[in-house]
């Protein structure tokens, strides 16, 4: 799940860079839609969105790791308890 969030964050940040780059081109010569402030605002929202999604990806990866380690610890405790009990 975290990998998908990282991919989404990377895509959003790539589009933010493209939107930021669009502010440097002349609208009249290139025929670009909107004006510079619209592209800056779009880049800002895409950047913030990408950072939020990246944070969610990091948090998801951390919680998945905690779950894996807790499950591993429970498994090790079960195995050690089975070895300690004498069989009749």
For residue range 24-75, what is the model confidence (pLDDT) as tens digits? 775 556 566 667 788 889 999 999 999 999 999 999 999 999 999 999 999 9
Query: 72 Cβ partners below 8 Å, 6+ apart?
Result: none
**Token pair in block for residue 84:** 């300690």
pTM exceeds 0.85 for this model: no
Query: 10 Cβ partners below 8 Å, 6+ apart?
Result: 50
DSSP secondary structure letters along 38-85: HHHHHHHHHHHHHHHHHHHHHHHHHHHHHHHHHHHHHHHHHHHHHHHS
SS3 19: helix
């Amino acid at each position: 799940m975290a990998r998908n969030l990282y991919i989404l964050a990377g895509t959003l940040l790539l589009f933010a860079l493209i939107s930021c780059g669009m502010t440097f081109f002349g609208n009249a010569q290139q025929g670009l839609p909107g004006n510079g402030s619209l592209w800056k605002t779009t880049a800002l929202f895409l950047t913030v969105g990408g950072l939020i999604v990246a944070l969610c990806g990091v948090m998801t990866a951390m919680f998945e790791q905690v779950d894996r380690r807790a499950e591993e610890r429970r498994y090790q405790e079960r195995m050690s308890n089975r070895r300690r009990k004498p069989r009749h």
